[in-house]
Structures are given as C-alpha cells and as structure tokens.
Amino acid sequence: MIGKERDRWKEKSVDQIKDFISNVYEGEVKNPCPVDRLKALSDTLRRKSCGECVICREGILQLSVLTESITLGSGRDGDIDVISEISEDMSIGSACDYGREVGRIAKKIIDDEREQFERHIKRKRCDALVCKKFITYYVAPETCNGCNQCLETCEPRSIRGGEGLIHIINPDSCTRCGDCVMACKPGAILKTSASVPNLPKEPVPVGSAQLDSIQGSLMSQKRRRRSE
Amino acid sequence: MEKISITIDGYSLEVDPGKSILNAALEADLYIPHLCHHPDLPDVGECRLCVVEIEGGGEIRTSCKTQVEDGMVIHTKTEKLNAMRRLSMELMLANHVDDCTTCPKYLKCELQSLIQYLEVSTSRLRRTLNSVPVNTSNPLFVRDLNRCVSCGRCVRACKELRGVDVLDYQMTEDDRVMVDIKNHHSMEEEHCRFCGACVEVCPTGALQDKEGVLKPNLNWDLELVPCKAECPAHTDVPRYIRAIKEGRYQDAIAIIREKAPFPHSLGYVCMAFCESVCRRKEINQSLSIRELKKFAADKDEGLWRERANFKPKTGKRVAVIGSGPAGLTAAYYLTKLGHEVTVFERLPVAGGMLTTGIPKYRLPREAVQEEISEIIRAGVTILTNTPIESLTDLKAKGFDKILLAVGAGKGNRLPIEGADYNNVYENIDFLKGVSLGSSELVGDRVVVLGGGNVAFDCARSAIRLGAKEVVIACLETREAMTASEDEILEGLKEGVKLLNGRTFLRIEGLNDKGTGVRCQEVSSFTFDESGKLQLILKPDSEHVIKADTIIFAAGQKPEIPQDWDVPVKRGNLIATENEIKVIGRNDLFAAGDAVYGTHSVIQAIAAGRKAASVIGQELNGDGDIEDKLTNDVIPSQYLGREEGFLEANRNECMDDCYNDSSACGEAGRCLQCDLRTQITRPKLWIHYKIK
C-alpha cells in the first residue's frame, strides 16, 4: 500500500497557502450554519495539514471532531472556549502559515457566531436548518396534494399515506435525507428546528384538514426537542 | 568566540552565540518544557511545548528554533505560554492511549513526566485516538502507534542520525498523519538496520524492544549490548567487530586483550555465550563472533604491548596454585598490578584444561603456548611439576596471598561393578594422557559413557588414536544430550556411534580387564524430590557393548588435597564468600572451576580477573585491572541504507578461518547494538535546578 502524498506547506509561499485556504473557504462560505461550516472546513483542512506540528495536526482534527459532535447534538459546555482557544493558539503558535491561517478563519467564525454555537449546544437548535440532528421534516397538511411521490422516494419508509391522502412523516425513523423535499412538486414538505405545528395523526383525505379544527382537537402546541 | 548576554526569566546568562534559546536555558539548568527536542537530533519545533516570549518581539516563538541574540529578554513561563503548552499537550493526549499503567514505559516515559509537570488532563477535549493494532511483525521491535504522539524523533534519528531513512510521516486512509514506515512497508522492505535508534529516542511507549531480546541490567550500556553483557568477561564485542570490519586488526586484538589474555585459544574453543544472545539471530543467524575473534587473534602483531599498563612493584608476593585459564589470568593481572606472582603447576605443562583437557585437534597447542609465553613475558613465574602438599608450608615461603585455581580435575567414576578394571579410564585422565602423549591408551573398541562435550572429546580423541569402533553411550536421548550440536555432528561425521537411553549395570571383565559394558535401555527418566534419579527401564533390553577400552565421561569435580584443610561444599567445591574468598581465611582465595564446577574457558578468565582485582585490593591497592590497549575510535552514528544487509547469512567459515574479505563481510552483519549507547538520554524536568 502506497500512502497518499502529504502537502508540505513549509516549502510553499504564504500566498500559495492563503490561496489554497481561501479556495476551501469560498466553497463553504455560503453554508448558512456556522457550526456546520466550521465542521466542513476543518474536516477538509485537517486532511491537508502536513501533520508535523502538533497544534495544526491535532488542533484542526480536534476542531473537526468537536464541531461534528456539536452538530450531532453532543455539544458540551466549554466546547466554545476550547474551539476559541485552539483557533487562537493555532493562529499564533503554528509552525507555518497553514496552521496560522486556518486558526484565523476558525477564530473569526467562533467569534462572529458565538451565539449560533451556543444555540446548537444549549438549545439544540440550528436556526439555519442545516444540522440534521436538530431539524424535523413534516408535511404541511394544507399544501399536500396527495400525489404519493414523497412516499415512493422515501428509502427508510418513514412516510405514511396514499393517493389523495395527506401524508405524514414519522420523525423517529426519518433520516432527514431530504429526498422527499425534492420529490414534492407542491412544496408541502417543510423543515423546522423548533416546534412542529399541529398535524393530523393519521393520513386523512386531501382537503379535509382544517387548520382550526386540527389545532383544537388533534394536537396541542408542543415544542419538540431532540437531544438524543 | 565572544559570549553574549541574555536574560531568561530574570536570570542573566552569558552564552555562546549561535545557540538556541532552549539549549542555552537547559545548559544553564533552567528547564523549558520540550518533547520533540532531543539533544542528538536537529530541532524542528513541532511539539510547541518549548514556546517562549521575547520582550519587544511580540511574537511567540519556539525556543528550540530561535537563536539567542545579544540583549534578549526571554520569558518562558507566562500564563499565556503555560496555557499554550497545556493545550498542545492536551491535544497530543487526546490522540494517545489514556492508560499509562498498562504501558511498558510506565514511569520511564518522557510524556508521562510532562503530563505530571504540566498538570494536564484531556477531559475537556474529544478523544481523537485512531486505534490501530499493535505491530509486532518485525523481529526486534514492538510498534504501538496508539502511544505515538508524532513528535518525529524516530524519523529524525533514522534519517539524520543513521541515514537509513526508514520512517516518515505517512497519510492514513482517513487522511490523518502518523509516523510510520515509509510507504506503509514492512521494516525489512525499507532496509531497516535494526540499530534501535528509533526505540532509543522515542519519548513514549510507542517504540519498544521486544520482550526478552534485552535482559534487564542495572548497567544500561550492558543491557543494550547483549553480547557484551553475556560474556562473563564483558568483552567489548561490537567494538572489536567494528575494528575488524574497518580493517583495524591490531585494534581488534587489542580490544579483545583488554578483557582476556587468551584471545587465540578463545577463538578456537570459546563457548561463545555472546552468540546465543546476539540480536542478529532474531533476523536470521547470530554473528559468527568466535570465528571473528580467532581471525583477529591470528593477526596479532603485539602492538598492544606498548600500552599494557604495569603498575610499580609492590613487593607483595602471591602464589597461584593451578595454571589453567583462571590461575594464569589472575597471575597475569596481579603481575600487572605490581605483585610478584608464582604459579604452581603439578603437571609437566602449564595451561590446565587448555593443554591437558581440551584435545589438540580442537585447540592447537601452539596457540595456547604462545599465550602462556606472553604471560611469562609479563613477569609471571610458572613452576611446572610442582605439586603443593601443604598450604602452610607455601605460606611460610613468604607469600602474602594464595589463590587456589586448581580446576575440576578429577573425573567421576560411576559406582558400578567393574569400574576399577585396568582399562577403564576417567575422562580427565584419559584426555590428559592423550595430551601428554601416553601411548597405548586405546584398544580397537572404545566405549565412552556420558553425553557431554567431554564425552565427545574422549571419543574423537580415541578415533585419532586409531580406535576402530568408538561408541558413546549415555542416559539422555539424542535431543537431551548436553554436548553442543556442533560437537555431536562432528563426532558422528568422524564415525562415532551414539547409543542413547542406556543405563549402565556393570562392567564385565576377565582378570583385571574390562571386556564390555552391560547396559539396559531406558524409556524415560526423572529426578525425584530429593534429586535422585528415577529410571523407567525397558524390559528384556539388557545387552553388552563389547569394549577394549572404557572411559567414564560423567562429569568432573575439584581435587582438593585433605592436608590443605580448605572448606569444601557439595561436589567437593571450595566454599567461598562471593565466589572468591575462601570462607574463614583472609590469605586464601579461590577461582575457577574449583569454585563453581565445570564451566567455560571464558568464565575461568572472568573469575581470574575478579580474583586479581579482589586480591589486588586486599593487598592495599585499588585492584583496578582495566587496560586501555587501543585508542578510542568514536564510531560513526551514520549507517546508511544497505540493501541486502538483512539477507546476509552467517558465513560459517568452512576453510578453517576467515580471510580479510570474508571477515569483513561477516563483521558487516553486526547490528552494532552499541551505537545506541552513544545516544544521549534526555534529562527530565525533575533533574533541572530551575523548573
């Protein structure tokens, strides 16, 4: 087995390093969730570290593992401080500009978006609706046309319903793959990181769901929280 | 060069320019934490533990990679620096097995010591350990990468120090970087030289010697060099092997002679304990050390004599009884200590077992004579044909100390019927007779009873005396015989017949002459709790081996005249304190086989050295017998890559001895374990004055 080539940033110029990193950054800049953005960035960038200096090799890896854990709902108190400390130490203590540049980017993300990180860790919310662990897919009863397309694309078979019926997604088995969203022509499948509105408990014929009566009789307001 | 002034944590230092801040601090006994720095390796600044702040610079720098400049004011332990160090350490530990107590390096580990110093735990970080199986696929090292912190010391040791370049940072399938063998090959595929430098510099338990390859020894230099440790005289094997490889033959013989005055004899008959522990045997076969010694001894031009250290005469007199290797070695070193030594030998020739025990086809007498002459030249008086009847009389002749080196010169005769027929010999007497040229010792059919090397010496000597049929009969099975495999094979080749699993009932005979040995076959034997032999006999297996000459080769014991009044213990061995002082006597010492029973020539030499040293001290000297017979040549730490190095097989030296080129080739197989002892052992924080 021949190993993959390592990048040797020590032999490269500051500009080459910055160009490389900003390219990676550009690829993620549109990612609306800062936690997921840092996770994606650190996962890509750790794979490119030459691996010789501790703070860069282990620091970016730790950022990657930490942010992934936060996006999966396992964030802990103190994680933000650790991310902040690692980023800062990388930015001042890395052996070369690769680590320093990665540190600066990470530091900027954590400083600018501290609140979003906190919401992920403490409230288990992803306001940008990116972190799958924190979002729930549901079928808006008033928009569903009962075409059954979503049910047919759903691989884990998490959707109940039939032709002409308002479909229902089972949040427990739903993998949040998003395939049903693509399949749904009327755009009835929505996601939320907070509470799910009142929905029918069983598939009912399209048109029979009246928001008022549903609200009153079928479900009470309930905030859904997923922390598992 | 003019010194420059720097200040580290308030201490003003005058240091040489060009030094790193870290080295300047450490040399001033001022500790700065560090891990990837090693005194013998180039610095790379990877562990980030040695970070410092320089006033006015603003930037945080690694002290190992920053040179001192005049007027620098350096801080090494600010809150920020301590925090950075702790984080770097935590990051390393997150990717490290978190159970120290199961690690073989426990309490000997630089990383563990740093954990203690920095007081870190990893609880606030996520574990990043990528568990991999512990790799034991090479013959000598255990590689547990779960304990590796990628400090890169092994990489630099292998590449920069040794020039072998087996190790490097490698990408894993998951794009993580870890230290591994280049191209994820085996060590053999990358032509590792198994020098052990990587293991030596590893600050953690990631690289270890396989258990059992090195025997624990309080002396680290001996622990790392098993051949030297195992040699009773601690002959510096790798050093003379290297001299042979480099064509410095006079250095080689001088190095051997620093520890033993019988190098040529040893080249023929040494039991070579060194070879049995040679690390090279784990790769293919051990180095042919004894043959190389013989080669070096053959080249001896005596240049070492000029350097042999003779201390001023003391006027003290020592009598040595027995002129075997133990007695003569002691006599030689005692003479060099300035004492007047007389050796008393009861036989007509000096040399003990070297001249009257070991047959001359194994050990040419010229080689022994040459070495005895050298000892006489050093000033030792040897009186042959001079048995000592009374120690008191000897003492009265003005000897301050007496050393008993009488060997184990009395063969054991089994207590069976017929054991005293005229043509029944004891091993020692028989071999002595052969050596001294007695004629008509053997008839046509010779039976040797016993299964050790001495039995083969007797049997093979008998063949050389013209015996037509020579049988070795012994209790043990072929596999359990104590004779060395070489001896057995040579004996068989020369026509010796082996009869294993025999017990001897009696010697049959007529008049005064034995005619055969009545035996019975044994299916197995054990020793009971009291050490008594228990036989299980094959029924109806009694038979007679016809013989004209019968030789007992069932061990030897010392022969101590009753009149000497020397305390003896089991096996007629002289009772001693620390294997040297005769119990209850302050003027009487003992050394060699007479103390510990039959052993090897090299053991006797080591015992003789010890005796000389102890007696030297008893005679109010320092007892320092160490010689420095050649200049120190500091070996190159550089080995370089050498394809075919691991594949090279032992050259068995078929044509009697090596020539220059084959000796060089064989010496080139040495792993040079001693190079590892040259690597500096890093000090831990606890050893620094200012921590």
Whether residue B330 is predicted with pLDDT greater than 60 in this model: the reply is: yes
Instruction: Name residue B416's amino acid.
Output: I
- Testing the interface with A: which of B92, B125, B145 to mutate, by most A Cβ within 10 A? B125
> Cβ distance B490 to B522 under 8 Å?
no
Q: At B611, phi and psi to the nearest 5?
A: -60, -45
Residues forming CATH 3.30.70.20 domain(s) in chain B: 94-209
Structure-model confidence comparison of residues B217 and B552, the more confident one: B552
User: Which residue in A49, A54, A65 is closest to B92 by CB distance?
Assistant: A54
The pLDDT of A200-206, averaged and rounded, is 88
Average pLDDT of chain B is 94
The whole-number pLDDT of residue A224 equals 46
To the nearest whole Å, the CA of B78 is away from the closest chain A CA by 14
* Token representation of residue B28: 């001033």
Whether B87 and chain A come into contact, CB under 8 Å, resolves to: yes
DSSP A104-158: HHHHHHHHHTHHHHHIIIII---TTS--GGG-EEEE-TTT-----HHHHH-TT--
Q: Collapsing DSSP states into helix, strand and coil, what is residue B364?
A: coil
Average pLDDT of chain A is 88
B contact residues 141-160, partner A, Cβ 8 Å cutoff = 149-150, 152
The pLDDT of B654-672, averaged and rounded, is 89
Residue B20 β-bridge partners: B67
The whole-number pLDDT of residue B1 equals 73
**Rounded-to-5 percentages of helix, strand, coil across chain A:** 50, 5, 45
With b for 16 or more beta-carbon neighbours within 10 A and e for fewer, the B363-372 pattern comes to beeebbeebb
The per-residue pLDDT for range B450-490, each reduced to its tens digit, is 999 999 999 999 999 999 999 999 999 999 999 988 899 99
- Residue contacts between A and B (CB atoms, under 8 Å): 94
Whether residue A195 is predicted with pLDDT greater than 90 in this model: the reply is: no
Residues forming CATH 3.50.50.60 domain(s) in chain B: 309-409+558-618, 410-557
* A52:B171 CB<8 A: no
* B91:A62 CB<8 A: yes
Whether A53 and chain B come into contact, CB under 8 Å, resolves to: yes
With b for 16 or more beta-carbon neighbours within 10 A and e for fewer, the B175-201 pattern comes to bbbbbbbbeebebbebbbbbbbbbbbb
**Of the ranges A132-141, B206-215, B438-447, B584-593, which one carries the lowest mean pLDDT score?**
B438-447
What Cα–Cα distance (Å) separates residue B521 from each residue in B492, B504, B687?
21, 9, 67
The pLDDT of B560-584, averaged and rounded, is 92
Cα B53 from Cα B61, distance rounded (Å)? 6
The whole-number pLDDT of residue A215 equals 44
The whole-number pLDDT of residue B51 equals 96
Is residue A220 very low, low, confident or very high in pLDDT (cuts 50, 70, 90)? very low
Cα B51 from Cα B76, distance rounded (Å)? 7
Domains and CATH numbers, chain A: 9-123 (1.20.1440.230), 135-218 (3.30.70.20)
* Chain B residues with beta carbon closer than 8 angstroms to that of A62: 91, 94, 125-126, 128
Cα B634 from Cα A191, distance rounded (Å)? 75
The pLDDT of A69-95, averaged and rounded, is 95
The pLDDT of B343-352, averaged and rounded, is 96
The whole-number pLDDT of residue A210 equals 59
* Token representation of residue A151: 């049910």
The pLDDT of B260-280, averaged and rounded, is 96
User: What's the burial of A43, exposed, middle or buried (CB within 10 Å: 0-12/13-18/19+)?
Assistant: middle
The per-residue pLDDT for range B81-134, each reduced to its tens digit, is 999 999 999 999 999 998 889 998 999 999 999 999 999 987 899 999 989 999
User: What's the burial of A105, exposed, middle or buried (CB within 10 Å: 0-12/13-18/19+)?
Assistant: buried
The pLDDT of B390-418, averaged and rounded, is 94
The pLDDT of A10-23, averaged and rounded, is 92
Structure-model confidence comparison of residues A215 and B510, the more confident one: B510
Cα B371 from Cα A66, distance rounded (Å)? 75
* B184:A3 CB<8 A: yes
The whole-number pLDDT of residue B654 equals 66
B410-557 architecture in CATH?
Answer: 3-Layer(bba) Sandwich (3.50)
Instruction: Name residue A208's amino acid.
Output: S
* A47:B175 CB<8 A: yes
The pLDDT of B261-282, averaged and rounded, is 96
The pLDDT of B432-440, averaged and rounded, is 84
Whether residue A3 is predicted with pLDDT greater than 90 in this model: the reply is: no
* A50:B128 CB<8 A: no
To the nearest whole Å, the CA of B171 is away from the closest chain A CA by 6
**Nearest Cα residue in chain A from B150:** A52
Q: At A9, phi and psi to the nearest 5?
A: -65, -25
The pLDDT of B312-339, averaged and rounded, is 97
User: What's the burial of B65, exposed, middle or buried (CB within 10 Å: 0-12/13-18/19+)?
Assistant: middle
What Cα–Cα distance (Å) separates residue B143 from each residue in B85, B134, B135, B148?
27, 6, 5, 9
The whole-number pLDDT of residue A5 equals 82
**Nearest Cα residue in chain A from B80:** A89
With b for 16 or more beta-carbon neighbours within 10 A and e for fewer, the B293-321 pattern comes to bbbbbbebeeebeeebeeeeebebbbbbb
The per-residue pLDDT for range B157-185, each reduced to its tens digit, is 999 999 999 999 999 989 999 999 998 89
Whether residue A226 is predicted with pLDDT greater than 80 in this model: the reply is: no
Is residue A82 very low, low, confident or very high in pLDDT (cuts 50, 70, 90)? very high
Whether residue B668 is predicted with pLDDT greater than 60 in this model: the reply is: yes
Q: Beta-strand (E) ranges in chain A? A: 136-139, 159-160, 168-169, 189-192
Instruction: Name residue B596's amino acid.
Output: Y
To the nearest whole Å, the CA of B184 is away from the closest chain A CA by 6
Instruction: Name residue A42's amino acid.
Output: S
* A50:B169 CB<8 A: yes
The whole-number pLDDT of residue B188 equals 93
Q: At what angle do helices B249-257 and B289-298 cross, to 10 degrees?
A: 110
Q: At A167, phi and psi to the nearest 5?
A: -80, 155
The per-residue pLDDT for range A28-55, each reduced to its tens digit, is 989 999 999 999 999 999 999 999 999 9
The whole-number pLDDT of residue B406 equals 96
The whole-number pLDDT of residue B254 equals 97
Cα B323 from Cα B328, distance rounded (Å)? 5
Percent of chain B with pLDDT over 90: 88
Cα B37 from Cα B633, distance rounded (Å)? 27
B4-77 architecture in CATH?
Answer: Roll (3.10)
**Of the ranges A26-35, A103-112, A206-215, B364-373, which one carries the lowest mean pLDDT score?**
A206-215
Whether B91 and chain A come into contact, CB under 8 Å, resolves to: yes
User: How does strand B513-527 pair with strand B533-537?
Assistant: antiparallel
* Chain B residues with beta carbon closer than 8 angstroms to that of A85: 83, 87
Whether B605 and chain A come into contact, CB under 8 Å, resolves to: no
Whether residue B521 is predicted with pLDDT greater than 60 in this model: the reply is: yes
CATH number of B220-305+630-677: 1.10.1060
A contact residues 6-35, partner B, Cβ 8 Å cutoff = 6
The whole-number pLDDT of residue A228 equals 39
- Testing the interface with B: which of A39, A52, A71 to mutate, by most B Cβ within 10 A? A52
The pLDDT of B258-268, averaged and rounded, is 97
* Domain B309-409+558-618 falls under CATH 3.40.50.720: no
User: Which residue in B51, B124, B177 is closest to A93 by CB distance?
Assistant: B51
Cα A148 from Cα B660, distance rounded (Å)? 91
The whole-number pLDDT of residue A4 equals 76
* A57:B62 CB<8 A: no
| List of residues 6+ apart from B107 with CB closer than 8 A | none
* B175:A89 CB<8 A: no
The pLDDT of B674-690, averaged and rounded, is 95
- Testing the interface with A: which of B61, B151, B172, B175 to mutate, by most A Cβ within 10 A? B175
CATH number of B94-209: 3.30.70.20
The whole-number pLDDT of residue B638 equals 96
Cα A157 from Cα A175, distance rounded (Å)? 10
Cα B534 from Cα B532, distance rounded (Å)? 6
Residues forming CATH 1.10.1060 domain(s) in chain B: 220-305+630-677
The whole-number pLDDT of residue A217 equals 37
